[in-house]
Amino acid sequence: MAHEVVVVGSVNADLVVRVDRRPGPGETVLGSDLATLPGGKGANQAVAAGRLGGRVGIVARTGDDGHGALLRDALGAAGVDVSRLLVAEGPSGVALITVGPDGDNSIIVSPGANARLTEQDVAAAREVIEGAAVVSLQLEIPLPTVVRAARTAADAGARVVLNLSPAAPVPPELLALCDPLVVNEHEAAFLLPDHAASDDPAALAAALLELGPTSVVITLGADGALVATRDGARSVPSPKVEPVDTTGAGDAFTAALCLRLARGDGLEAAARFAVRVGAAAVLGEGAQSSYPAEGDDLPS
């Protein structure tokens, strides 16, 4: 049976420390015990969609280290098809994460094996990608690989969703394949040098549409999201919750969005479900460990 969502992206081990405050330059602070958790934007999205009951596959690379086994096991436990999860010599990707007392996080990513996911790997996985309803992409893997995956998906009639994270320059041809382009306010401003993250989200969305995507979703944290097409923009409010840890919440949102789009929802309806999943994800510690399962009660 074909996949509803195929993720072409990163898998990382998240090394997480909680701190009372973040250190300044040259300063040392004490933190909590180190937690090693499965993560990576690609793996997070695959796991989140899998836990929601989706038929999900992933095209990615781990290293041949101990982290690689952890990451494969976590994906498999969520029901994700790992037949295209390849192993490269050397270290797996790692994310160094500090979580402050307010639940907000700061992240440094060492790409590791993610940097060795190639266009040839995408070509080898063409049958899996072409069979998906939605292909989800991010920017923690090489840009040529992302572009090749987007072309392969679009040529087969699959819907391409690009989460522009971490923010980086992308070619117009890639933006033109996005339906939607998913960004937060800072990522939107990165693509729009004449705008600031504090600008009106509707204005940001209109300017982003001028760059070529069919549709745009701007995530607004606790304020929910804004969805936009050339027919107009609509705000989608988020349930109000007290966040514990925001790590991976954006990935949970994108995964839920992709899954509902794959099942035929319109963009606004998919986003209304996605904000509830994103709100649920901030109620627990870590990324994948906080994601809701199919049938769980979601904040409303």
Binding residue per annotation — 41? yes
Residue 108, both tokens: 């440094």
278: amino acid identity, one letter: G
Write out pLDDT tens, residues 165-195. Answer: 999 999 999 999 999 999 999 999 999 999 9
- pLDDT score at 62: 97
265 is catalytic: no
The answer, yes or no, to whether residue 1 has pLDDT greater than 80, is no
Q: What is the dihedral of CA 33, 293, 250, 146, to 10 degrees?
A: 110
The answer, yes or no, to whether residue 102 has pLDDT greater than 80, is yes
Please tell us whether the domain made up of 5-19+33-290 is placed in CATH 3.40.1190.20.
yes
Binding residue per annotation — 153? no
Binding residue per annotation — 220? yes
Mean pLDDT of the chain: 95
Binding residue per annotation — 251? yes
**Catalytic residue among 81, 121, 179, 251, which?**
251
Looking at residues 119-134, what average pLDDT do you find? 97
Higher pLDDT, 102 or 230: 230
Binding residue per annotation — 256? no
For the chain, the structural domain boundaries read 5-19+33-290
What's the whole-model pTM score? 0.93
- pLDDT score at 106: 86
